[in-house]
Amino acid sequence: MFDWLIVGAGFAGSVLAERLASQRGERVLVVDRRPHIAGNAYDHFNDAGLLVHRYGPHIFHTNSDAILDHLSQFTGWRPYEHRVLGEVDGMRVPIPINLDTINRLYGLDLTSDELTAWFAARAEPVERIETSEDVVVSVVGRELYEKFFQGYTRKQWGLDPSQLDKSITARVPIRTNRDDRYFTDTHQCMPDRGYTRMFERMLDHPNIAVMLNCDYRSIVDMIPHRRLIYTGPIDEFYDYRFGRLPYRSLRFVHETLDQAQALPTGTVNYPQTEDFTRISEYKHMTGQQHPQTAITREYPSATGDPYYPILRPENQALFKRYEALAMAEPNTYFVGRLATYRYYNMDQVTGQALAMFQRIDKALPRRMTLRLNHGNGAAQPASAP
Ligand code: FAD
Ligand code: UDP
């Protein structure tokens, strides 16, 4: 009998599996319908021996010491600050928009203070900032919004920014200084042996079994378990009872090139041209030395694996209906980006899973007793009979 059946071996499922196994001594079965662990963070060595991210570039960044410390039990890190250039009006300029972006694009020599005034002169007053259009035009005006945000967002989401929640484009700040990093978090780093290796170490515990290529529905009735943790799409769990919850998908086109480097930065965005949104080159992130290089283009798509929740009021309302069912579901816990319909980064999902573990650990009596192992002084879990 397993104490837990965990659906999904991504950050949500794997972080919880490890905690339940190591801290509560409980027996966990993790199932994933994909042929690998690590969920969307999965990376692997391709035929040429280059470390690539199967589901597009994953860059770790967090302001939380606790989350970094937690994951550091399973990996070392290499420092990496992501930088992005946008191909705009035939030039490659920094994204997020900063002082250099504007000076280069418009042939100006503004100072930061002058740029603040320059933006203010172009900003459109918006009474209530609600949409992904409002949040940009209210700061930099319509021209920059159209150049950098409108086309990219229409491509990425199949919707105009005016139809999307403000939090989506607000992920990309507007700067008046020369900082050209994509993120400003206090910790920015990559697992030094890759994400998959980190997940292997997380799941390497005698109390954890992993089944791949397995949809949980095919085994849920056959394998006895006390409780379920579900990290897949919440609408699918309920057989789309209230209708489909919209998720956006991507098609990833991976390529190996016979050159040592293809791009000046980890990613180049295409807000005005092309059918794909961006090209990323992994060697920047992984630091791998290799005579060839691997890149990925991301083509947004309405069909395919669900990757992004589409944040807009009617979708939130539909999610709330599913969430109400989920909250009443006995012995079942919903965690992660798809199950809680949140546009979460990896660190946020890790934090959500750790918080869920704390709640579980408070609410449910522990099955195990901790026994002192006099050999190395560490406390070892021992299952209660
Ligand atoms: P997932 O990783 O999606 O794991 C859920 C797992 O559940 C999947 O493996 C799925 O196969 C499995 N599953 C679902 N249903 C079933 C079922 N019925 N039976 C069995 N298994 C099932 N975050 C960052 O912090 N930095 C980045 O740079 C970044 N870049 C990203 C780029 C892209 C293109 C995408 C799509 C996401 C990116 N993210 C990034 C977000 C990151 O991928 C997620 O935050 C994280 O992977 C979510 O983990 P999760 O466990 O919630 O979900
Ligand atoms: N965005 C944009 N232009 C850009 C980069 C981002 O319009 O050059 C918008 C777009 O709507 C995108 C959102 O900002 O979906 C969030 O961007 P981010 O890079 O965080 O997306 P992710 O890495 O999660 O795909």
Considering the domain 2-37+203-243+310-372 in this protein, what is its CATH number? 3.40.50.720
- At 201 the three-state DSSP class reads helix
148 lines ligand 2 (CB under 6 A): yes
349 lines ligand 1 (CB under 6 A): yes
Per-residue pLDDT of 182-218, as tens digits, reads 999 999 999 999 999 999 999 999 999 999 999 999 9
- Model confidence at 288: pLDDT above 80: yes
| Among 194, 203, 192, residue whose Cα is nearest residue 32 | 203
- Domain ranges across the chain: 2-37+203-243+310-372, 84-170
pLDDT score at 191: 98
* Amino acid letter, 81: E
- Model confidence at 249: pLDDT above 70: yes
Q: Which ligand is nearest to the CA of 35?
A: 1
pLDDT score at 366: 82
* Amino acid letter, 141: G
- Model confidence at 348: pLDDT above 60: yes
Percentage of the residues of the chain whose pLDDT score is greater than 90: 95
| Among 171, 172, 184, residue whose Cα is nearest residue 96 | 172
Give me 50's structure tokens.
Answer: 């280059």
Give me 87's structure tokens.
Answer: 């191909």
Residue 301 to residue 303: CA distance in whole angstroms: 5
Atom of ligand 2 at shortest distance to CA of 156? 15
pLDDT band at 368 (very low <50, low <70, confident <90, very high): low
DSSP secondary structure string for all residues of 2-41: EEEEEE--SHHHHHHHHHHHHHH---EEEE-SSSSSSGGG
Residue 266 to residue 190: CA distance in whole angstroms: 13
Residue 17's beta-bridge partner residues? none
Per-residue pLDDT of 260-282, as tens digits, reads 999 999 999 999 999 999 999 99
- Model confidence at 370: pLDDT above 80: no
- Model confidence at 376: pLDDT above 50: no
* Amino acid letter, 158: G
Atom of ligand 1 at shortest distance to CA of 58? 28
Atom of ligand 2 at shortest distance to CA of 153? 11
86 lines ligand 2 (CB under 6 A): yes
Per-residue pLDDT of 58-100, as tens digits, reads 999 999 999 999 999 999 999 999 999 999 999 999 999 999 9
C-alpha 295 – ligand 1 centre gap (Å) = 20
Residue 268 to residue 290: CA distance in whole angstroms: 21
Give me 244's structure tokens.
Answer: 């489909």
- Model confidence at 375: pLDDT above 60: no
Q: Which ligand is nearest to the CA of 29?
A: 1
- Model confidence at 377: pLDDT above 50: no
| Among 41, 85, 10, residue whose Cα is nearest residue 281 | 85
Q: What strand order describes the sheet that includes 84-88?
A: 91-95, 84-88, 267-269, 278-281, 293-301, 247-257, 308-309
Look at the alpha carbons of 188, 193, 195, 198 in this order and tell me if their dihedral is positive or negative: negative
